[in-house]
Amino acid sequence: MDLLAASLINGLVARPVNLVKMDVLDFVLGLSVLLRGSVTEKLRWAFNLYDINKDGYITKEEMLAIMTSIYDMMGRYTLPSVRDDSPFEHVEKFFQKMDRNRDGVVTIDEFIETCQKDENIMASMQLFENVI
């Protein structure tokens, strides 16, 4: 299983799990947060997607690993075509925006506060509201 898939699954559950023995209830509870949770719960879910080692911080290395997986999944044949440095550029823009105290990591508080002030991010949080 690649890093993105593992991170998505671990993001859907309330606690780190053994992906082979994941409880269906854990999965359903995580999916419930994504579909019906408050904005803060959804933002926490998104933060946990990128916080690979679950230490409470998103590092550039963690973000780059996830972004590289996303860009690899999109493939090299998308239009416009993806440049090799696109994941790195995405990470740099993310940190310019989110790392408010410039200490090289993004905390959950920085992430939530910055997201709540961004109209585009807040609009995307409403994406799944009427799904079920």
7-16, 47-56, 98-107, range with greatest mean pLDDT: 98-107
Report yes or no: 49 and 7 within 8 Å, Cβ to Cβ: yes
**pLDDT class of 16 with cuts at 50, 70, 90:** low
Residue 1 has pLDDT above 50, yes or no: no
**pLDDT the model gives residue 6:** 58
- Least Cα distance to 47 among 111, 3, 91 occurs for 111
Q: φ, ψ for residue 57 (rounded to 5)?
A: -135, 145
Residue 120 has pLDDT above 80, yes or no: yes
Separation of first and last alpha carbons in the chain = 28
Q: What average pLDDT does range 109-129 have in this prediction? A: 89
Q: What average pLDDT does range 58-84 have in this prediction? A: 80
Q: 3-state class of 32 per DSSP? A: helix
**pLDDT the model gives residue 91:** 95
Retrieve residue 75's tokens: 């493939």
DSSP state of 62: H
d(CA 132, CA 36): 9
d(CA 45, CA 39): 10
**pLDDT the model gives residue 37:** 82
DSSP state of 130: T
Q: 3-state class of 83 per DSSP? A: coil
**pLDDT the model gives residue 35:** 77
